[in-house]
Structures are given as C-alpha cells and as structure tokens.
Structure 1
Amino acid sequence: MRIESVRATPGASGFYVDDQAAIKAGATEDGFAYAGDPVTEGFDAVRQAGEALIVEVELADGSAVRGDCAAVQYSGAGGRDPLFRAEAYRPVVEGPVADALEGRDPRAFANNAAVVESLPSRASGGGDSLHTALRYGVSQALLFAAARARRATPTGVLADALDTAPATEPVPVFGQSGDARRRNAEKMLLKGVPVLPHGLFNSEAKLGSDGERLVEYLEWLGSRAADLGPEGYEPRFHVDVYGTVGELFGPPYDRAEVVDYFAKLAAAADPYPLQVEGPMDAGDRTAQIRRMAELRDGLADAGVPVDIVADEWCNTLDDVRAFVDEGAADVVQVKTPDLGGVQRSARAVTACEGTDTRAYLGGTCNETAVSARACVHVALATDAAQLLAKPGMGFDEGYMVVTNEMRRTLARRERADPQVAADGSGGDRR
C-alpha cells in the first residue's frame, strides 16, 4: 500500500471568521454581520465567510480519504496564525506537501505526520510555509488513511502512536451556543449535554458594565437546568468571556474585588460546577500565564469554587505545556486548528496527565464535519476531560456529528474486544 496522490479543493467551513480586535473595540452588530471596519490584518470585513481546504489522499487500492484544513473563528488574535485563505494555500498542498508524502506507506501515521511537521512553518519564514490549518487538515487525512490501510479505527491508530489507553466511555461533550445563548442552552438541557453552554460573552454589552449580565445569565441557566434537564442530570457550566472580565477589573486579579465577583458567579451557578474561559487577555504568553496563575491562586485562597480555562495565548503544544507547568489554569483548551497536526493536539492532552490541570479538546465553530470527526478520535485516544461539539453555532448539528462518531467508535471497539468494555483494558486498540 502506498500514497498515490495528494489533492486539494477549496471549500466552505461550518461558520464565519470574525475580527475579534474590531469587536472588542466596539464594532456593532448589524443583523448577523458587524458594522465598522476591520482592524486585524487580512480581514476585508469584521465578519466574513469561513473557508476550508479539502485535502484528498488517494491510496494505491483506489480508495481515497480526506481531511479538512480550517482555522479558528478569531484568526489572528491571541498569537494565532493569520486569516486562512483556502485558494492561496492550495498550491502548497499540491506542491511541497504532496511531494513529501506521495509514495509513502499510509500505515506509518506517526512517520508521515512527522514528515509534514518537518516542512517549513510560518514561524520559520519559508517561502512555502505551512499555516497551522494546513498541518491540521493534512494530518486528518493521514490519520484516516492509516486507519483505512490498517483496517483499524483512527482512535486505535493514535493510541498506538502515543502509547495511550483509549477511553472506554464517552468523553463529555461541551455544547456552544453562539449568541443564541438562551435558546441553544435550552436545546442542550433537553438533550442532557454534559458541559454547556459557552455563551459567547465577548463584549461589555453582553457581560454588563459591572458584570451583572453574566451573573443573571448563570442564575437563569441553573433554573432552566432544573426545569428541562433529564432526571439525575448534573451538568458542568462553562462560559467563555474572551478577556472581558479582565477589561472590567484589570490586574491584579487576586484582589478582593475580583475574587468577590467570581464568588457571585459561583453562587449564581450553584449547585452546578462552573468553569470560566479566557478571563483576561494580557497581551502575550508570559503575562497571560502570570495573570492566570494570580487569579487561580486568589480563588483558591478564598475558597471560591470556579475553575479557570486557558484559551488566549495557549495555542501551541509548547504553550499548553507552559500553562500546565506553571499551574496557570484548572483547564487548558487544546485549540485543535492552532496546534497543527492532530497528533500534536493528542500530545497536548497527554501533557496534562499527572497534573491538576485538565485538558479540554476544543477547536472552533469554523471547522467542518470531517475535522470534527477526526477530533473525536483524538479525544478518545487520550481520554480528554471534555470535547467541543462542532462545527457551526446551531448546536444540534455539531453535537450530532461528534456524539455519533464517538458512540460508533466505542461500539466498534467493544465488538472487536468485549473485554475492553468489561474491564477498561487497552485491548488491541482497534
């Protein structure tokens, strides 16, 4: 078996890309769009259509598999690679990437992924440098190619590459609401989603001038969870504030005023546990780690039961390791398109093993069903703490994609080796 060809076709992603800096600077909503001019390099508008680059790998037996290159909704923010333009990177996939992979054995996933990682990155300034979105999509195709050639699940391929014991139970799914934070949250509650609702609190108008709107929202969410959730339902609340709490209070974040506000959030969410993502954006990784650790220590000292989640400036495998090593978060988001190859996302999750930091395998609404399916296998292979429902912001569709892929894979593994489900052993990792 060998890789015969690698081709690329521009396509559509599951959502849009937004200029986060322009929104934080006051760009106003204009229906579904935003009024005003973009401020981040590469954007033609504050909100514009997302793009994907479909990578197809053809094997010697005539079969073909695909992976989808996609970048995060807030491209160019928080130290991430710039806006992804699919057509501009098509020649890179069909040129240097294809040259490096054609003729190779598709079963050798780890080696093939390493070959892609060795190609020039944007950071190295190479003429044909690879955007993280390219590494992401190509690695998905290589993962599915290895699974096809080995007649195994992609979960098993990754577990073999990382020497991990795959999950034997579904990884908790995290639903994201978009701006329909009440209607979509009610959908999640009806379906008993384990972690919810994200909430998209990315401006002062949504947070409230004193943070009161987030408090009110959590009170409402707790009430609706009791009304709509299935019997015995014990969800975890997780809201993303995009640094707006930091803009409201400013450092230092361990002072009484800040800690008291988080205590109000905890009380509003009670009796459900609460995670707050991206409490501040300090402008660079070093400062972000220092400020996150400061807040985490302040909350711990005061006995405030709110976990904080790293997102901004936690983009690469090295970033994840740095946040974990410094104890700067209770949870780190492994933002899959920003890590590049899916094997790097898997390593980021395993970097949390043996620490008091949990790994949330995230990503973005601006992905595709193909990339979401690939991420399910990363989550299962590494037994991540939670997995984002994606793509899109309608919730139901993304939840369906990741939930069904996860259940199908677990069922296939159990059929292959029933003892795996019975005792949680690693089995043959198929």
Structure 2
Amino acid sequence: MQIKDVLLVPGAGAFFYDDQAAIRAGAIQDGFVYIGEPVTPGFTSIRIPAFSLSIGLVLGDDTVVWGDMMGVQYSGAGGRDPLFDASQISVFTSRVVVPRLLDVDVSRFRTSCAKVFKPVERQRLPSAVEYGVSQALLRAAAHLQRKTMAEIICTEFDLPLPTFRIPIYCQSGDAREINVDKMIMKGVDVLPHGLINSRQKFGVNGQTFMEFVRGVAARIRDFGRPGYHPVLHFDVYGWIGHEISLEPQQIADFICRVADSVPGFTLNVESPADFGSTQAQIENYAKIVSILDSRGSDARIVVDERCNTLEDIRLFAEAKGAHLVQIKTPDVGSLADTTRAVLVCKANGVGAYVGGSCTETDLSAQASVHVSMATQADMMLAKPGMGVDEGFSIVGNEQNRLLAILNRRATENVR
C-alpha cells in the first residue's frame, strides 16, 4: 500500500491564463491576443498559455497513477492563489509533498489526504498541489481496492452509489454564436456561459448582454429538438455591479428584467458583482437572493469570485448567499474538500455546481466526474477547454462509462 516513487512531469492546460484585472480595465482584444500591459502579479502578458504539472505515483505493483496540478483561467483574481508557476510548484512538491507521499498508506483516500496536506508552518499547501495530488491519491485507492473513484468516495463518505447522470454545463468562450449552436445541437443541459467579461460584451446599461440572452433563447426555440429546455447560465464577471450598480436592489431589478425577457427559462446569473471581500460578497449576495425569492423570479444567483475554499463555501451556504455555489475545483484544492463542499451545500439547501476551469486537463476532468456523480451534485462543468466538443465528450463519456460499470456490478450482485 506504499508509494515506491513519485514522478513530476510538466504539461499543458487546455486553455490560457488571463489577467482579469487588465481585461476589466479595458485591455483591447486583437484576434485571440490582448493588447496592453498586465496588471496582476506574475503575468508577463495579459493572456498566456496555461501550463500544468502532472504527478505520478508509482505503486508497489509498478502501476503509475496520475493527477494534474494547474491554476484557473483568472488566477490571482477574486482572492484566488497567484498565477500557477510549474517550476516553483515542482520544487515545492519535491521538497515538501514527496517525502510525505513516500510515508503514507494510500489505500484510504481521506486518511492519505489528511496526512499529505498538513499545513507547512501554519500555511496551507497551494490549492493546485492539493488538487493534483488528491487526484492521484484517489486513483491509487481505486486501483488498490479494484473500484471506481466514485465508489471510493461513496464508501469513505457513506454515500449511496449513483444511479443516474448529472446535468452538464458548457461554456462558450469568445466563439459565442458558433458554440451556442453546438450546445443546442448536442442537447447540453445548461448553457452557454457567454464570457461576458468586458464592458464591450456587457454593453451600456447591459443592453448587449440582454440581447445576447434573448438571442440564445431564440436559437433554442428555433433549432432545439422537441422538448429540449436547457437552463440558461451566464457568467457576467461582476459587470452588473460595474455598469449598473453595487446596490443589491438595483442588481436584483436588472436580473429580473433579464429573466422576464426569456419567459419559461430558468436563468442562472453567475458573479453579478464583486463587493471586494468574502464577507461583503456574502452579505450582499444574500440580499439579492432574498429579493429574487420574494418576487418568485426564475433567476438564480451563482457565486464564484470570493468563494474559493471549503470554508468560504460553508459560509456562503449557511448564509444563503447564493442559489447555486460554483465549487471551483482547482481553487478548493483537495478532492476530499470538493466532496465536503457539495455535501455542505446540500445540507444547507443550496445548489452545488462542481465547476473548475477551462485550463484543466482530461485527467482532472475525469476525476471531477467521479466526485460529482458520487455526491450527486446539481450540475458539473464540461471541461477542459473552451471548444464545447472536447469537454462535453470527456465529461459526458466518463459519466456514461461509470454508470455502465456500476450497473453491471449491481446486476451481478442481484444474481
């Protein structure tokens, strides 16, 4: 049950790291490149290719199980960890984490995470390290026990085995129109994100955004298959607060107008405003939620920025500071904590959305599927990348494969 050796291999994430502060300040986009000087520490340009670091655990039978570390697209923003530096993370992992891994019994996932992720000088390990290493530890436990990763989560957290798929949510990136059509053709459950991350995309008084919302609903009505009725989900990156108001009442009024423009659809609005701190975000989001609920609106507030760690998620859930919490897996860190985060949301009657970032990899996406299915989250992100097709197939196929394995075992047990 011990690890014989540890491999560290640099790799690529599936998208790019972007300087959100520079984009928000008005950086001009020229093709795929942003023109201007970076603002957030660590960025050498406003948009840089995402990189990752793979960690391989060599087990006693010489099987190697892998996990991938990376940051999120908007690293260093909204209280998140700074820009992911693969070389620095590799040095830290070799010095601090590898000795711990070589001294742990990996047959029990939660126990091994607790031992490996102990603080260093009262400081938590970088969330990217926890994320990648926990993927490898979960795969190790699954290999040793000859189970799926979902079964390990269900056993260790005393959860029933999943019996059905969970809704998949796709994000469009900047290729909004083409990717919206792809999502409709493929029958995606929740769409389209929209990447409303600049004044140009939001528009004066939000008019450009509202037109886009109405346009997405029209495309669904025109080209969706009979009975297809997805949830509409738009991430506005705080632009309602920037362009309309930071007053909860006015934010709620605007969101209601948007929801009223697409009757019959559930409307998710992610990150309507950034109030500058976790506590301010909780208090003001809770007010917006309360106003929308009192009006019986079909709109739901989704929190992302300022809600990064398991403790942040607990605070938002307990305060009803959102209808739906994005559990941004690389920011939360350990997959054990992602599991706990979903359960905390459920215990408080708040929706749990296992998200993440377009900068992730196939391995991190597949591991996220098993946690999402085991906990029966309300929805999960199609990842990695921004192309729709790749992330949707990786996440959807892994869900289907998992259910096929579990159904076969259930049938065998009945016999």
Q: Cα distance, 1:159 vs. partner?
A: 1.2
Unaligned segments of structure 2, at least 5 residues: none
After superposition, the Cα gap between the structure-2 partners of 1:419 and 1:252, relative to the gap in structure 1 and judged at 3 Å, is: farther
Counterpart residue identity of residue 334, structure 2: G
Question: When the two structures are aligned, how many residues end up with a matched partner?
Answer: 414
Supply the distance in 2 between the matched residues of 1:218 and 1:16 (Cα, whole angstroms).
Answer: 26
Q: Give the equivalent residue in structure 1 for 2:146.
A: 151
Partner of residue 383 from structure 2, selected from 385, 390, 403: 390
Q: Flag structure 1 segments of 5+ consecutive residues without an equivalent.
A: 423-430
Equivalent pair of 1:173/1:388 in contact (CA under 8 Å): yes
> Are residue 86 (structure 1) and residue 97 (structure 2) matched?
no
Equivalent residue, structure 2, for 1:66: 66
Q: What pairs up with 1:11-90 in 2 under 5 angstroms? A: 11-90=11-90
**Residue 409 (structure 2) aligns with:** 416
- AA at the equivalent of 1:30: D
Q: Give CA deviations for 1:289-347 in whole Å, capped at 9, x if unaligned.
A: 11111211222223322100011100000000000111110000000000111110110
Q: Does the 8 A contact of 1:55 with 1:137 survive in 2?
A: yes
Is 2:231 aligned against 1:225?
A: no
Cα distance in 1 for partners of 2:139, 2:55 equals 12
CA distance in 2, matches of 1:294, 1:286: 13
Identity percentage of aligned residues: 43
Matched with 1:426 is: none
DSSP-derived class of the 1:84 partner: coil
In structure 1, C-alpha distance between the alignment counterparts of 2:193 and 2:92, rounded to whole Å: 35
Q: Residue 220 of structure 1: CA displacement?
A: 1.0
Give 1:95's aligned residue: 95
Question: What's the RMSD between the two structures over aligned residues?
Answer: 1.5
Residue type matched to 1:8 in 2? L
* Counterpart in the other structure of 1:428: none
- Matched-pair contact (CA < 8 Å) for 1:259–1:304: no
Equivalent of residue 355 in structure 1, options 348, 352, 360: 348
Query: Residues 88 and 264 of structure 1: is their aligned pair in 2 closer, same or farther, counting only changes over 3 Å?
Result: same
Cα deviation 1:351-403 (Å, max 9, x = unaligned): 01233310000000000000000100110110000000000001100111010
| 1:27 Cα deviation from its structure 2 partner | 0.8
Out of 369, 373, 376, the residue aligned to residue 369 of structure 2 is 376
Give the match for residue 328 of structure 1: 321
| Distance across 2 between alignment mates of 1:161 and 1:185 | 39
| AA aligned opposite 1:179 | D
1:206 maps to 201
Task: Tell me whether 1:120 sits opposite 2:120 in the alignment.
Answer: yes
Partners of 1:287 and 1:250 lie apart in 2 by 15
- What SS does the corresponding residue of 2:233 show, helix, strand or coil? strand
Residue 419 of structure 1: how far off its partner (Å): 8.7
The CA deviation at 1:88 is 1.3
Q: How far does residue 103 in structure 1 lie from its aligned partner after superposition?
A: 4.4
Q: Distance in 2 between matches of 1:117 and 1:106?
A: 13
The CA distance in 2 between the partners of 1:269 and 1:55, in whole Å, is 46
Measure the CA separation in 2 of the matches of 1:336 and 1:157: 18
What does residue 164 of structure 1 align with?
159
Tell me, yes or no, if the aligned pair for 1:6 and 1:93 is still in contact at 8 Å.
no
Q: Contact 2:246–2:275 at 8 Å: present in 1 too?
A: no
Q: Matched residue of 2:82: which SS?
A: coil
Aligned AA (1:68) = D
1:191 to 171, 186, 190: 186
Deviating more after overlay: 301-310 vs 337-346: 301-310
- Which piece of structure 1 moves more, 223-232 or 150-159? 223-232
Structure 2 counterpart SS, 1:417: helix
TM-score (norm 2): 0.97
More divergent stretch after superposition (155-164 vs 182-191): 155-164
The one of 245, 248, 255 aligned to 1:250? 245
Q: What's the offset of the Cα at 1:32?
A: 0.5
Normalised TM-score (structure 1): 0.93
Aligned amino acid, residue 81 of structure 1: D
